[in-house]
Structure 1
């Protein structure tokens, strides 16, 4: 984003959009309605251009035009008019609340050379003041009106929020703001160290995932409030942009990584857990693509789906009796409310914008971390209690097993006595049973020989039945084809013989080359398959001839199945079949049916004049009519001769 600010003091009449600064005002919160806005899609306008009358008239109030930057490829000019009604001079500072502005150029007193040039695309030391947001000093002369032009060019969507403060208010604000932010990052650091120590002592994987989640939270806030660019990588603006793009995605991954293990979703809801994992990974990939390549500014709409699925996962596991899930939902609800305020600011809705809502996300994350820490401890306590109860049950089971083993030893002794007695009885029974089995085996062998002979007879009968069925099926198909060829049938019954385009082309190709293939250009008789279905390519001259070429269906513009049926109907009615009725039956335009009917009627007349014409012949004799194709060839040859004569 590039901001250009121009200042001009004037003694003329006060403009109607002028902001008045009185003695009792020490701070002004500038919303989009405080400016007059001009959108420059080309980005070529200069400070001299926008001060010209033809461009000055195009400035509009924010309520009528734009509440925030919507087109990242355009440049926005903000005109801010201030009238200092004080008599004593005070130092005023303009603070732009978005720390991700790419470029800033400050012009003052109608100068064409910028006083300050800074922005997120430049090193941090390019800023006039060592502060996380962009801060500019405004020179306001007492009892005079000053007009400032602010030029914005942003690579991401942002609002026009700013604050105007005196140096007294600004100094106290610095102390309070940096003190609270220091406390916030101190809490995050304490939670990281505490949980990391717990992980090193008990080696519980969940604590390590929690540490990764808290670290990603800290990285998000360092990129969001600008402190990372101020203290950690001030000379690396490219790294600052990379962190701004990657940190939210990393937060999504670590949050999902921690939440799924915290709720044991892989064991409790394995199918839903797999879907959550796929959606999170897919969303992360799309977010990285949008942030690093597309830069559409709409990536934040991809966050609600995975976070909503994770919250629904918590509801499901809570319904199944996992008590710590309710703490997880409570902790995440704080963040959800603060994210809602952030989305409203991104969309240009500033109804709820104030100091509390701007920093509500920091407060929400502190509350979330505290509640999640309690929930994590509660889960560990629940696991410990469950382990103790399991150990007690195991001790009871071991005692019962010891008692059962004593009873088993007594029973084994009794069984040994019974076994000796039963062995003698079994030996006698085995001898008798062996003799019975030998006799039954001989009987079964005889029956098997009889079954083998019967199976041979059945096999012969089965073969005869299969042969008879095949002959009946062939006869049935011939009868059905003869019925179609002998009288009129409807389109549905006709389609049983020619169900689709491939069947029609197969029949047409077999009919066309029934006496063998011969190339129409060179007379060669060997061919291979062409690219189109059922076409043939000459192996000598490479000429390709389709199945419909030189037939009645050459250049046919509708389905060949319907064309087959149309030829059948016209032949059955000896050419006396109206185009209106044909259009209704085939569901085609009447003009198309009329043209094709004329083509078939001409083919029927030529067939009737043929020497081998038979009144009882099949309608398929018409399919190979190539009169129109021959005329096209003659016209092509004549055109070629006419072109060659002038050359001679």
Structure 2
């Protein structure tokens, strides 16, 4: 059916090719008239070099074609399009008339008014500041003279980098004033509602700190900025000089609106906690839309004008709402209804974008998306209210359960108190009886305490003597233990009790190394101060810092120092006959490490034995310090 209508319209328009273009008589216009089909003719200038003298000449006059659609549009973005309309003036009406272009996103409009000396050009378009317009209106409004009873042909040249429609309307000044007043009144109500809803949700967020209030407020702000940008209100009132920003404002505002719509749906539907897969789908839609925006801004600029891409995030939010509603989450129903209404508005807007024949053009269809936004705002507010209602019900149920539990606790507490009071009475009677018995026993104890005090004095004197004997015994045991370690075989546990940590080992090594007082190995000076490492000594004269392990068998070793001590003890006690495998088994160290270090110990013992400086009775610590050469 659609193809038949297009073919019929094309054939009908072609029948008039070569015939005179009909003129619109002002005397027959009741307020306004939209130029369409045969009344508006166009010429495609692919080179963009034709002038008004060219297109108005007889050679080019026959090349104009009537529009086959209700509103002609630029099929090729790089081409310029010349249009012409004919108007039969009626000066007897005493009425002022204007020509208005509904599409305020056109980049450049050169309007040519015929005079006795040729054509006068007036330039309009959104590439000029708003103050350059003769009439301060959101659309491009061009006054025309109605001073002669003649038929006048007006030419205008359109050029735009994005899709532009030549929606040209002839209006009387009175009708324009009346229509503009009503239109701006509607804008005031629409944007006022957005402002009130946004401020209300901001106050609610400040009061209850629920994220969906903030997300809904940001969504409304995005919708409001988009609608103001798309309607031209923002360019008129908010940024009349920001020409470049005005090109990008609708797309960026719509991106923000769809983004916050996604996260608002996720918050209202509680997807993060209850349905994580749907929340990941929300994040995926957000990532896709963000990547699309970045690509359209920096790589493929033609994509920035694609508006129906917003169907993707809204469809994902709509699907999430339907899924949650189907699962019994009642707060989702208003969100689904709201997004359904918005989807209807988007479909109607897309239909206008693609010039579907079944979609009539008019004020209702032009502002259909705005009406849908108003209804959607109401239903999304209902969704928030329903969510709050559910939260209140859940809170009330939780409070009832808490109160019931408190009552049960009180009953248990009262029963327990009665039981405890009875037990207290019984215990009190027993205590009274026992108190009398205790008083009698206390009297006996006082007498016994007197005797014990005397005995305590005698015991204290004996303890003093025993403490002295105990100290002497501990000293003797330590000497015996040290002597046993120096001369006999002991296990690692007993050895570690004598040398439990690095500090005790280093102190023991320092006492052996410098038992004959300190002498600097560089300059021989005897005065020193504490060095950087534990128990090291720094020469006061030359500053040489000698660590406690330097010039000892422990120099440059990486073994734990108490295990290194025990290995020296084992090798020394066995006269070097113990194997590296045995040492590895005892110490829990790799066999290769035990072999390397035991070889070093054996070499030291061999050199001491060769110089006659090794005496077994001196003990294993006699080989710790290297002899000075």
User: What is the TM-score with the length of structure 1 in the denominator?
Assistant: 0.57
Question: Do 1:18 and 1:80's aligned partners in 2 also have CA atoms closer than 8 Å?
Answer: yes
Q: Give distance in 2, aligned partners of 1:66 and 1:277.
A: 40
Q: Give distance in 2, aligned partners of 1:149 and 1:294.
A: 33
Question: Do 2:268 and 2:383's aligned partners in 1 also have CA atoms closer than 8 Å?
Answer: no
Per-residue CA deviations over 1:542-573 (Å, capped at 9, x if unaligned) read xxxxxxxxxxxxxxxxxxxxxxxxxxxxxxxx
What's the CA shift for 1:292? 5.8
Matching residue of 2:458 = none
What's the CA shift for 1:124? 0.6
Q: Give distance in 2, aligned partners of 1:72 and 1:391.
A: 65
What's the CA shift for 1:67? 3.7
Q: Give distance in 1, aligned partners of 2:221 and 2:135.
A: 29
Matching residue of 2:386 = 378
Map of 1:378-417 to 2, 5 A cutoff? 378-397=386-405
Matching residue of 1:334 = 341
1:69 is aligned, of 71, 74, 81, to 74
What's the CA shift for 1:276? 2.5
Gaps of at least 5 residues in structure 2 are 1-17, 420-629
What's the CA shift for 1:93? 0.7
Question: Do 2:239 and 2:246's aligned partners in 1 also have CA atoms closer than 8 Å?
Answer: yes
Q: Give distance in 1, aligned partners of 2:93 and 2:225.
A: 44
Q: Give distance in 2, aligned partners of 1:399 and 1:308.
A: 50
Q: Give distance in 2, aligned partners of 1:288 and 1:246.
A: 11
Per-residue CA deviations over 1:135-182 (Å, capped at 9, x if unaligned) read 001224554211111211112112222321101111111211111111
Question: Do 1:69 and 1:157's aligned partners in 2 also have CA atoms closer than 8 Å?
Answer: yes
What's the CA shift for 1:84? 3.1
Question: Do 2:39 and 2:85's aligned partners in 1 also have CA atoms closer than 8 Å?
Answer: yes
Per-residue CA deviations over 1:436-479 (Å, capped at 9, x if unaligned) read xxxxxxxxxxxxxxxxxxxxxxxxxxxxxxxxxxxxxxxxxxxx
Matching residue of 2:135 = 129
Matching residue of 1:109 = 114
Q: Give distance in 1, aligned partners of 2:377 and 2:70.
A: 41
What's the CA shift for 1:28? 0.4
1:224 is aligned, of 230, 251, 263, to 230
SS in 2 for 1:93: strand
The structure whose Rg is larger is 2
Please say if 1:151 is aligned against 2:151.
no
What's the CA shift for 1:303? 2.0
Map of 1:552-631 to 2, 5 A cutoff? none
2:208 is aligned, of 178, 202, 205, to 202
Question: Do 1:192 and 1:211's aligned partners in 2 also have CA atoms closer than 8 Å?
Answer: yes
Choose between structure 1 and 2 for higher RCO, CA contacts under 8 A separated by at least 6 residues. 1
Moved more, 311-320 or 68-77: 68-77
Q: Give distance in 2, aligned partners of 1:263 and 1:58.
A: 59
Question: Do 2:114 and 2:153's aligned partners in 1 also have CA atoms closer than 8 Å?
Answer: no
What's the CA shift for 1:310? 1.3
SS in 1 for 2:154: strand
Matching residue of 1:365 = 373
Map of 1:1-150 to 2, 5 A cutoff? 15-23=20-28, 25-31=30-36, 34-63=39-68, 67-84=72-89, 87-109=92-114, 114-150=120-156
Q: Give distance in 2, aligned partners of 1:394 and 1:210.
A: 33
Question: Do 1:332 and 1:368's aligned partners in 2 also have CA atoms closer than 8 Å?
Answer: yes
Q: Give distance in 1, aligned partners of 2:29 and 2:45.
A: 37
Q: Give distance in 2, aligned partners of 1:292 and 1:19.
A: 46
What's the CA shift for 1:236? 1.5
Please say if 1:300 is aligned against 2:307.
yes
Cα 1:131–1:85 shift into 2, 3 Å: closer
Question: Do 2:74 and 2:81's aligned partners in 1 also have CA atoms closer than 8 Å?
Answer: yes
Matching residue of 2:323 = 316
Q: Give distance in 2, aligned partners of 1:223 and 1:84.
A: 35
Question: Do 2:45 and 2:79's aligned partners in 1 also have CA atoms closer than 8 Å?
Answer: yes
Question: Do 2:72 and 2:167's aligned partners in 1 also have CA atoms closer than 8 Å?
Answer: no
Q: Give distance in 1, aligned partners of 2:164 and 2:356.
A: 11
Cα 1:284–1:41 shift into 2, 3 Å: farther
Moved more, 201-210 or 140-149: 140-149
Cα 1:255–1:167 shift into 2, 3 Å: same
Q: Give distance in 2, aligned partners of 1:109 and 1:24.
A: 21
Question: Do 2:96 and 2:173's aligned partners in 1 also have CA atoms closer than 8 Å?
Answer: yes
Question: Do 1:69 and 1:159's aligned partners in 2 also have CA atoms closer than 8 Å?
Answer: yes
Question: Do 1:27 and 1:165's aligned partners in 2 also have CA atoms closer than 8 Å?
Answer: yes
What's the CA shift for 1:389? 0.8
Q: Give distance in 2, aligned partners of 1:134 and 1:317.
A: 47
Matching residue of 1:265 = 271
Q: Give distance in 2, aligned partners of 1:348 and 1:284.
A: 29
Cα 1:288–1:357 shift into 2, 3 Å: farther
Q: Give distance in 2, aligned partners of 1:64 and 1:226.
A: 25
Map of 1:122-521 to 2, 5 A cutoff? 122-290=128-296, 293-296=299-302, 299-349=306-356, 351-397=359-405
Map of 1:542-557 to 2, 5 A cutoff? none
What's the CA shift for 1:231? 0.9
- RMSD of aligned residue pairs (Cα, Å): 2.8
Question: Do 1:31 and 1:160's aligned partners in 2 also have CA atoms closer than 8 Å?
Answer: no
Number of residue pairs the alignment of both structures matches? 398
SS in 2 for 1:37: strand
Q: Give distance in 2, aligned partners of 1:390 and 1:50.
A: 80
SS in 1 for 2:135: coil
Moved more, 307-316 or 399-408: 399-408
Q: Give distance in 1, aligned partners of 2:242 and 2:221.
A: 21
What's the CA shift for 1:339? 1.9
Cα 1:54–1:285 shift into 2, 3 Å: farther
Q: Give distance in 2, aligned partners of 1:379 and 1:81.
A: 59
Q: Give distance in 1, aligned partners of 2:298 and 2:26.
A: 43
Matching residue of 1:420 = none
Cα 1:31–1:328 shift into 2, 3 Å: farther
What's the CA shift for 1:21? 3.1
Q: Give distance in 1, aligned partners of 2:167 and 2:242.
A: 26
Per-residue CA deviations over 1:59-80 (Å, capped at 9, x if unaligned) read 2121179842232222111121
